[in-house]
């Protein structure tokens, strides 16, 4: 993977956003998008969360020169790592390199990625005054660098490879903003929706509105599908999810452009899956904590994505194959399965193991 300044593929192209009819047809017939629509595919499509990440030597080389936020804000580099990962692994979709917390950077609350500690918010939101201090922003303008990266990536990917855009679900974005970073118990977030429901409602409505505009702008820029990450939703009881979160997830998904598949993914969400289904996405992501077969059976008429434990890729090839085939057999060849991990690829993972996983999935045949 060369430096972006030396790679003309990732220079701003200035091309029209209107796809040629031939490319539109190729994309529509891609196994990934067909699986999102629960249509039969010749093989099970696969893509992987964090498929552009620190497990790749080329990615580490770039990160040794630029900070994480700097990489996110450099469209040429973001496009380069996105395309490189897809081409290297041979997966059936690319996902734009960005971060779910970029809206918080635009909100000017002091987002910083601290080595060894993760994202930190210098000015967390706890009061009505804090909410009023968040500026009214046009998402497409505030996060224009993400949209430019999507345009560059779309023009550089193979014509039949879909590109996935994404954003944080309203609850996860709110919890980061309120807690000031990650949390064990989410005391501040839960206290707000228990004790100050009016403030919670105002915040969630603001985040939903911004996220709708942001995700729709990603589609306009060239994304063929969208994933909504609810990384912290597993801290909620079904009752709290239904009362304080589900209405806003529904509003977000309802506000997205028709005809663009939406994947809804949460971690630790075993008790929430039936409610998450009600939010209205086309595909529901399963993490590794649930049994694939029984979860899919209970969800019935919705496509599913998942759900290999990322730690399996740290094991020997024989064990990787064993666990992968268990999921493939549980899927029974039914339409509407996208293979993925139950979360992102871990940094210690051997890239050869990731390629081997893709090979197993692509070559699998029903007994």
* Catalytic machinery residues: 50, 54, 63, 99, 176
Q: 55 phi and psi, to 5 degrees?
A: -70, -15
**Contact partners, residue 91, CB within 8 Å, separation at least 6:** 46, 47, 48, 51, 85, 358
Give CA separation, 94 vs 82, 84, 154, 165, 251, in Å: 7, 9, 9, 9, 26
How many Cβ atoms sit within 10 Å of the Cβ of residue 294?
10
Residue whose C-alpha is closest to residue 254's, from 203, 219, 216: 216
Instruction: Give the three-class secondary structure for 48.
Output: coil
Contact between 34 and 42 (Cβ < 8 Å): no
Give CA separation, 170 vs 138, 174, 203, 235, 245, in Å: 17, 6, 9, 14, 8
Which residue has 């679900």 as its token pair? Answer: 169
What the block records as the tokens of 200 is 């919670």
| Cα angle, residue 58 at apex, residues 54 and 62 outer, rounded to 5° | 80
Q: Which helix (H) or strand (E) holds 230?
A: strand 225-230
- Report the alpha-carbon distance of residue 233 to residue 210 in Å, rounded: 20
How far, in whole angstroms, is CA 85 from its chain's centroid? 15
- Report the alpha-carbon distance of residue 29 to residue 27 in Å, rounded: 5
DSSP state letters, 83-105: HHHHHHHT-S-EE----TTHHHH
Contact between 361 and 285 (Cβ < 8 Å): no
**Radius of gyration, CA atoms only, the chain:** 20
Q: 130 phi and psi, to 5 degrees?
A: -65, -40
């Amino acid at each position: 993977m060369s430096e972006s300044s030396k790679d003309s593929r990732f220079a701003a192209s200035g091309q029209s956003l209107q796809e040629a009819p031939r490319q539109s047809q190729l994309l529509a017939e891609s196994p990934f998008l067909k699986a999102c629509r629960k249509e039969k595919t010749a093989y099970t499509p696969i893509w992987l969360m964090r498929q552009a990440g620190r497990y790749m030597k080329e990615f580490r080389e770039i990160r040794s020169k630029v900070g994480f936020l700097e990489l996110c804000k450099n469209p040429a580099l973001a496009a380069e790592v996105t395309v490189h990962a897809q081409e290297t692994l041979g997966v059936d979709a690319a996902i734009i390199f960005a971060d779910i917390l970029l809206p918080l950077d635009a909100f000017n609350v002091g987002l910083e990625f601290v080595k060894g500690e993760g994202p930190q918010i210098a000015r967390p939101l706890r009061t009505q005054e804090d909410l009023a201090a968040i500026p009214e922003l046009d998402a497409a303008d505030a996060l224009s660098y993400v949209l430019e990266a999507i345009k560059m990536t779309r023009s550089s990917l193979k014509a039949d490879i879909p590109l996935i855009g994404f954003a944080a679900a309203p609850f996860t974005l709110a919890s980061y903003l309120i807690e000031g970073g990650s949390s064990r118990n989410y005391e501040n977030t839960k206290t707000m929706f228990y004790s100050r429901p009016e403030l919670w409602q105002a915040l969630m409505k603001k985040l939903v509105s911004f996220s709708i505009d942001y995700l729709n702008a990603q589609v306009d820029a060239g994304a063929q599908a969208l994933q909504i990450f609810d990384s912290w939703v597993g801290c909620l009881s079904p009752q709290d999810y239904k009362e304080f979160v589900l209405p806003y997830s529904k509003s977000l998904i309802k506000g997205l452009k028709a005809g663009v598949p939406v994947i809804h993914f949460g971690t630790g969400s075993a008790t929430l899956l039936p409610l998450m289904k009600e939010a209205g996405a086309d595909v529901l992501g399963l993490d590794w904590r649930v049994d694939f077969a029984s979860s899919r059976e209970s969800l019935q008429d919705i496509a599913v994505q998942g759900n290999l434990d990322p730690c399996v890729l740290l094991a020997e090839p024989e064990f990787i194959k064993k666990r992968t085939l268990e999921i493939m057999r549980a899927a029974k060849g039914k339409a509407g399965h996208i293979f993925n991990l139950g979360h992102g690829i871990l940094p210690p993972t051997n890239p050869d193991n990731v390629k081997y996983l893709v090979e197993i999935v692509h070559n699998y045949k029903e007994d």
